[in-house]
Amino acid sequence: MDGLPGFVRPAGPGRWRLDVWVQPGAKEDGPAGLYRDRPKIRLRARAVDNKANKSLVALVAGLLGLRPGQVALDKGQTGRMKTLIIESDTDPRWDAVVPEGEA
């Protein structure tokens, strides 16, 4: 478990908490560096009818090479600061949620 970035915390065997900052309504989807010590994730989806949260789960799953069912929103349903639960048999590549040179 050593060597985890500051925005990731263990949450049990094969489970982690990933803290992110979300920018809904952006021009494009994808990671955008760090903001407040969390990966900033840009989403085209607006924060209406849970669209941004669903888009966030799908995008983070794709970045980490996981299925959307392995990523769930834990905290921050209506805010920009969110915590996701990540479930995987192997350690995900956390650098995938932060652009190269930003971590």
- The model's confidence at residue 103, banded by pLDDT at 50, 70 and 90, is low
pLDDT digits (tens, 9 = 90+) for 7-63: 999 999 999 999 999 999 999 999 999 999 999 999 999 999 999 999 999 999 999
- Flag whether pLDDT at 1 surpasses 50: no
Answer whether residue 65 is part of any domain. Answer: yes
Between β-strands 38-42 and 30-35, what pairing exists: parallel, antiparallel or unpaired? Answer: antiparallel
| Angle of CA points 41, 73, 1, to nearest 5° | 80
Answer whether residue 102 is part of any domain. Answer: no
Domains contained in the chain, number: 1
Answer whether residue 92 is part of any domain. Answer: yes
pLDDT digits (tens, 9 = 90+) for 55-83: 999 999 999 999 999 999 999 999 999 99
For the whole prediction, is pTM greater than 0.85? yes
- CATH assignment of the domain containing 46: 3.30.1200.10
**CA-to-CA distance for 88 and 79, rounded, in angstroms?**
26
Answer whether residue 91 is part of any domain. Answer: yes
In terms of residue numbers, what domain contains 61? Answer: 14-96
Least confident of 55-59, 82-86, 96-100: 96-100
Answer whether residue 76 is part of any domain. Answer: yes
